[in-house]
Amino acid sequence: MVDQSELKYTHEHEWVALEGDVATIGITAYAAEKLGDVVYVDLPEVGTTVASGRTVGEVESTKSVGELFAPLDGEVVEVNDDVTSSPELVNSDPFGDGWLIRVRLSDPTAADSLLTADEYAGLIGE
């Protein structure tokens, strides 16, 4: 489990944990709760180039399909195979074992434009 106060967030309810030039990306507990029980996760392949704001995957639940957007530009360097085989991890541990992809960022400083934990809390009304 990561320290949620140290994460960056998007308006599309993704979280980003930075470690050097690699970002671990997942969806927030708020998004997971709104989706309901996640039953399928479609993620990009390792080596895929992603662009900020573009769709990179889908998270399907019993009640809807949510798109996963790339929060930053870069290349996918790791995909969490555990969530593809056990998508319920997105609900049970969205900030831990339920992470989705890791991206080597083209420009790590671009993360400065994402929301802080306080700004995200304001967005979702907490």
pLDDT tens digits, 66-98: 999 999 999 999 999 999 999 999 999 999 999
| Spans of all domains in the chain | 7-106
Q: Within the chain, which residues score under 70 in pLDDT?
A: 1
- Fold for 7-106, please state it: OB fold (Dihydrolipoamide Acetyltransferase, E2P) (2.40.50)
Provide DSSP, the chain.
---GGG-EE-TTSEEEEEETTEEEEEE-HHHHHHH-SEEEEE-PPTT-EE-TTSEEEEEEESS-EEEEE-SS-EEEEEE-HHHHH-TTHHHH-TTTTT--EEEEES-GGGGGGSBPHHHHHHHTT-
